[in-house]
Amino acid sequence: MLNFRSTTFIKSAREKNERPKKELLEIVFVGRSNVGKSSLINALCDNKSLCYTSSKPGHTRLLNYFEIKDTIFLVDAPGYGYSKAGGRNDELFAHMMEDYFTDNKYLTLIIFLMDSRRKVRDEEIELLKLFEEENLPCVIVFTKADKLNQSEKAEAIKEVNKLTLNRNLDVLFASINNNKSIEELKNYISYHI
């Protein structure tokens, strides 16, 4: 199992060329703004002050690199879709992510976070398509699972299967308020890198 507790913040970057110099592979956490990327990293690392979280969307604006000591980088990506009208921030995000996912030789696993209580957005469909085209390893994690009942979970899986017809992606549920789900995700990540 990866030693998530040894994680420290290394740096923020606007593009992957500004990544830390150390030759470690990386796992990225992607998803719409407010889906819970930063909170999930904190939960995995058992450190509430590692990533800044906020109930206001749009908090994370850069690629933030965290290092599991001498093992791998965890990358907290900015979320998309927080400016209601789309606009400049979404363009910036699209540009940043396109650069990030293109020819990234360090990228070993994408943790794609979705909030199943929200309608699937075009950006999410686009990203899943891109991952498929580029054959990038990806797992879907539904966040805030504490807010879902069993039938809502089943519905979420059905929806996501529609989106990923050509590719069977693994699907997990996680809640920062449920230790078991956090342990499961830690195990999953440890065995899939």
Identity of the residue, 49 or 166, whose beta carbon is nearer to Mg ion in the bound complex: 49
Supply angle C-alpha 84, 66, 175, rounded to 5.
60
Sole window of 83-91, 118-126, 173-181, 185-193 interacting with ligand GTP (rule: CB under 6 A): 173-181
Counting contacts by CB under 6 A, is residue 63 touching ligand GTP? no
Q: Which does 81 bind (CB under 5 to 8 A by kind): ligand GTP, Mg ion, none?
A: none
State the Cα–Cα distance between residues 135 and 109, nearest whole angstrom.
11
Owner of token pair 């920062």: 176
172 pairs with which residues across the strands?
141
State the Cα–Cα distance between residues 62 and 91, nearest whole angstrom.
14
Owner of token pair 């593009």: 15
Helix axes 150-163, 122-133, angle to 10 degrees: 60
Among 37, 44, 63, 66, binds ligand GTP (CB under 6 A): 37
Q: How far is the CB of 163 from ligand GTP (least distance, A)?
A: 19
Identity of the residue, 19 or 37, whose beta carbon is nearer to ligand GTP in the bound complex: 37
163's CB contacts (< 8 A; 6+ apart) are: 120, 124, 125, 128
Owner of token pair 């690629």: 63
Site for ligand GTP in 110-139 (CB under 6 A): none
Of all residues in the shown chain, the one whose CB is closest to ligand GTP is 79
Q: How far is the CB of 84 from Mg ion (least distance, A)?
A: 18
Identity of the residue, 28 or 36, whose beta carbon is nearer to ligand GTP in the bound complex: 36
Sole window of 56-64, 101-109, 121-129, 149-157 interacting with ligand GTP (rule: CB under 6 A): 56-64
Identity of the residue, 39 or 164, whose beta carbon is nearer to ligand GTP in the bound complex: 39
CA atoms within 13 A on the CB side of 109: 20
